[in-house]
Amino acid sequence: MFVKSRGEHASKHVLPKNLALLLCFASFCAGMFFSNRTWMVPDAKGIPWTSRTGGKQFVDYDRNIVVKNEGNSSGDISGSQHSILTMDKAISDLEIKLMASRAEHETIQKDPTMSEGVKNIESILKRKYFMVIGINTAFSSRKRRDSVRATWMPQAEKRKKLEEEKGIIIRFVIGHSSTSGGILDKAIEAEEKVHGDFLRLQQHVEGYLELSAKTKTYFATAVSLWDAEFYVKVDDDIHVNLATLGVALARHRKKPRVYIGCMKSGPVLARKGVKYHEPEYWKFGEVGNKYFRHATGQLYAISKDLATYIFINQNVLHKYANEDVSLGAWFIGLDVEHVDDRRLCCGTPPDCEWKAQAGNICAASFDWRCSGICRSVERIVEVHERCGEDKNALWSANFVQTMRTSS
């Protein structure tokens, strides 16, 4: 008959057991291939999760570290704020260095008269110096320069030794005459060939009313040439004891922004025709007012950060009639420590002599009434003999303890 049993019909549609297992395994493999999932544990490094206490925790599976961050922990907040402030300071310092580097590069590129030494400055390993002393001088001051060379400024091999062993750079600072390449400039060039102790300011034209501009250019140029802790400006009719000056500055070497000198606050002179007349007197308030505190112009020193600040911002720093006032004005509003050190403004004998006999040797001596040593060419030798420090004081002074080489 044509009727077949139910079991017989079903047996024709049943797959072999081995084939079924093979198909299952093939399906599994296909699923793994197309989904590209291998069932690995996801990388949870740095994934935050909330603990039962409400604080956040971060898990680092690579190091098996659980870092807890409780939301209400004032100590952690304080630590975070400290870290942020530290990072901000580091970033600020790097920005200053970057801006200084860019400004220096632009200055060198724009000024075709820069010396070869300055042009190659980026390829030269800069040495760390202790201080750079710039002696402000003029074309007519040849005798003053010679009197300084004959007293407190080391010459020839001794000056070279001073630079190498003590890290002290000393240069007479002068710009150019209004007639570039004229007889005045040639006289300085001839003097430079003999002594080799000038810093020529290529972009500055000499003039009494241009002292503020000269001071600004000096600091900007000095900080671009020498990497020092301090930059000093001194007039060429002042007597200086180098070792005592170095000791005075060394006390402040850990301060990033320090302005050192004999601080004063003189009257703002509004009347025309008088010495030290201030054309912009109205900016200082009512007639008869005094200037803000600033270092007297005969000698002052600033730290590297402040010299760098001048270098970066030299194109926008305002110049007043008096250069010492201008320098003080540039630091108004900055976080700068003003140091009033009276050893930097002693009188000439007998004042400095009495102090030396008492063991309080002066760093600088001059006559206030002359804004320098009166008749300095004739008298500076006397001041040096009566108020000068011991001949071995400079060479025995320990300025080298922080000297290092930096790139």
Q: What is the pLDDT of residues 42-99, one digit of tens each?
A: 444 444 444 444 444 444 444 444 444 444 444 455 556 656 666 566 666 666 666 6
β-strand pairing of 227-235 with 294-303:
antiparallel
Judge whether residue 35 has pLDDT over 70: no
At 177-217, the pLDDT tens digits run 988 889 999 999 999 999 999 999 988 999 878 999 999 99
Percent of the chain exceeding pLDDT 70 equals: 68
At 367-390, the pLDDT tens digits run 999 999 999 999 999 999 999 999
Adjacent-strand bridge partners of 234: 135, 299
SS3 for 223? Answer: helix
Q: Which pLDDT score is estimated for 87?
A: 59
Residue with tokens 């309080």: 360
**Distance from C-alpha of 249 to C-alpha of 38, rounded to nearest angstrom:** 69
| pLDDT confidence bin for 402, thresholds 50/70/90 | very low
Domain boundaries, the chain: 126-264+295-396
Judge whether residue 161 has pLDDT over 90: yes
At 318-358, the pLDDT tens digits run 999 899 999 999 999 999 999 999 999 999 999 999 999 99
What global pTM score does this model have?
0.70
Q: Which pLDDT score is estimated for 1?
A: 44
Which pairs count as long-range contacts for 370-375, CB under 8 Å and 24+ apart, including other chains?
370/237, 371/235, 371/297, 371/298, 372/235, 372/237, 372/238, 372/298, 373/237, 373/238, 373/239, 373/348, 374/348
Per-residue pLDDT averaged across 290-313, rounded? 96
**Distance from C-alpha of 63 to C-alpha of 25, rounded to nearest angstrom:** 37
Q: Which of 399, 358, 91 is nearest to 249 (CA)?
A: 399
**Distance from C-alpha of 130 to C-alpha of 400, rounded to nearest angstrom:** 8
* Structure-model confidence comparison of residues 338 and 10, the more confident one: 338
Judge whether residue 3 has pLDDT over 50: no
Buried b / exposed e over 195-233, threshold 16 CB at 10 Å, is eebbbbbbebebeeeebbbbbbbbbbbbbbbbebbbbbb
**Distance from C-alpha of 342 to C-alpha of 261, rounded to nearest angstrom:** 8
Cβ-contact 217, 107 below 8 angstroms: no
Buried b / exposed e over 141-179, threshold 16 CB at 10 Å, is beebbebbbebbbbeeeebeebbeebbbbbbbbbbbbee
Q: Specify the DSSP element, H or E, that contains 333.
A: none
Judge whether residue 246 has pLDDT over 50: yes
CATH of domain 126-264+295-396: 3.90.550
Judge whether residue 272 has pLDDT over 50: yes
DSSP code, position 161 = H
Name the phi and psi angles at 366, rounded to 5: -165, 175
SS3 for 238? Answer: coil
Percent of the chain exceeding pLDDT 90 equals: 57
Q: Which pLDDT score is estimated for 407?
A: 35
SS3 for 132? Answer: strand
**Distance from C-alpha of 225 to C-alpha of 223, rounded to nearest angstrom:** 5
Q: Which pLDDT score is estimated for 398?
A: 86
Name the phi and psi angles at 293, rounded to 5: -65, 130
